[in-house]
């Protein structure tokens, strides 16, 4: 069981589910003034959205581990789950079970909100995760961008499905239209935040995994342009993130969202620590600590959603 949970990346799954739930309960619901699980998606429909998203994510983690067996034998010696405790054959079966289940559940949800074509979102997301693991992750920047986009999509999915679920209730939909611009801005802020933090973390992980990737011909950013150049790119993105955080605070200040404005000083502080640690990092363990800080930054950003409810 322990090895299975490690393979499934359970902490990441909790972060995904938590971020989607907080967004709906504390940002979208209060912004629109609606009763969550009554006016838009029902609890059952929302549960289907969570299940579809997590199952496709699990499939992505599994297939990524399968294609990374050789590199991980060097980058993470002794920590390989595939082949060591779970055979490749079983891993592939788990991949297909979780991925197909995720696509089917996502398609069912799309049907329930009268937008059957939205099922393609789950199909293409699963496809991107497959191609990322097989091909894109070994292409400089492209793989980093693909996984960063997928990391931010979960925020957009909640609003997309809630929006169309609400559109099936014409009376409520008309009454809340004036609040859509606020929700759109907040969704863009959190999607942008998730994209940038994921982007930086992916580059840092490339640096961290340089030895194994280089050994087995995986041409990541670090392998293609070197660790020093990759570090500079990660630093530039970190400084841009700090600037972006300041802009978001400016918006919160003028929108009189005082709690969020104040909370984002914590975000600023964490980004500054990431920048400081990046400047100092030289070894694999040091880059690993930066990657951990970036995950902490993501969690801290997600938790900020709770404050919107009290504004």
The pLDDT score that the predictor gives to residue 61 is: 87
Domain hosting 257: range is: 2-308
Q: What's the total number of domains in the chain?
A: 1
Report pLDDT digits (tens) over 235-287: 999 999 999 999 999 999 999 999 999 999 999 999 999 999 999 999 888 99
Sequential DSSP letters for 42-71: -HHHHHHHHHHHHHHHHHHHHHHHHHTHHH
- Cα radius of gyration (the chain): 20
Question: pLDDT tens across 30-65, in order?
Answer: 999 999 999 999 999 999 999 999 999 999 888 887
Residue 187 predicted with pLDDT over 60: yes
- Whether pLDDT at 140 is above 80: no
Digit-coded pLDDT (tens) for 101-117:
999 999 999 999 999 99
3-state secondary structure 97-140: HHHHHHHHHHHHHHHHCCCHHHHHHHHHHHHHHHHHHHCHHHCC
Q: What is the pLDDT of residue 274?
A: 97
Query: Could you report the per-residue pLDDT of 218-234, keeping only the tens digit for each?
Result: 788 888 889 999 999 99
Cα distances (angstroms) measured from residue 218 to each of 52, 103, 213: 30, 29, 5
Task: Please report where in the chains the tokens 């299975």 appear, as a residue.
Answer: 4
Separation in Å, CA 236 to CA 30, 169, 188, 197, 242: 35, 46, 21, 12, 10
pLDDT at 150: 87
> How much of the chain, in percent, has pLDDT values that exceed 70?
92
The whole-number pLDDT of residue 89 equals: 87
What mean pLDDT is predicted for residues 10-17? 88
Would you state the structure tokens that stand for residue 78, as one six-digit string? 């002794």
d(CA 258, CA 155): 23
Q: How confident is the model at residue 143 (pLDDT cuts 50, 70, 90)?
A: confident
d(CA 124, CA 10): 23
Distance (Å, whole) CA 221 – CA 2:
33
Output the average pLDDT for the chain.
Answer: 89
pLDDT for the residue 79: 61
Does residue 133 have a pLDDT over 80?
Answer: no
pLDDT of residue 52: 97
Query: CA-to-CA distance for 50 and 18, rounded, in angstroms?
Result: 10
């Amino acid at each position: 069981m322990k090895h299975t949970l490690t393979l499934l990346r359970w902490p990441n799954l909790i972060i995904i589910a938590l971020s989607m739930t907080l967004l709906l309960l504390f940002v979208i619901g209060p912004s629109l003034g609606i009763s969550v699980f009554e006016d838009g998606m029902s609890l059952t429909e929302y549960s289907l959205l969570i299940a579809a998203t997590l199952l496709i994510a699990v499939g992505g983690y599994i297939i990524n581990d399968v294609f990374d067996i050789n590199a991980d034998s060097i980058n993470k010696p002794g920590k390989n789950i595939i082949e060591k405790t779970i055979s490749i054959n079983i891993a592939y079966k788990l991949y297909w079970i979780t991925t197909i289940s995720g696509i089917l559940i996502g398609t069912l949800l799309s049907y329930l909100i009268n937008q059957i074509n939205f099922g393609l979102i789950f199909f293409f997301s699963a496809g991107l995760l497959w191609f990322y693991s097989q091909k894109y992750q070994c292409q400089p920047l492209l793989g980093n961008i693909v996984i960063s986009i997928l990391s931010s999509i979960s925020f957009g999915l909640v609003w997309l499905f809630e929006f169309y679920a609400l559109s099936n209730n014409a009376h409520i939909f008309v009454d809340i239209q004036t609040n859509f611009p606020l929700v759109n801005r907040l969704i863009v802020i959190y999607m942008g935040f998730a994209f940038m933090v994921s982007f930086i973390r992916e580059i840092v992980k490339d640096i961290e995994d340089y030895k194994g990737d280089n050994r087995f011909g995986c041409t990541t950013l670090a392998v293609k342009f070197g660790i020093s150049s990759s570090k500079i790119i990660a630093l530039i993105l970190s400084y841009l993130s700090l600037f972006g955080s300041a802009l978001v605070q400016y918006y919160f200040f003028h929108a009189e969202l005082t709690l969020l404005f104040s909370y984002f000083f914590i975000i600023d502080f964490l980004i500054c620590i990431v920048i400081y640690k990046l400047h100092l990092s030289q070894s694999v363990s040091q880059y690993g600590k930066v990657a951990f800080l970036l995950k902490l930054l993501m969690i801290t950003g997600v938790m900020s959603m709770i404050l919107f409810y009290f504004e």
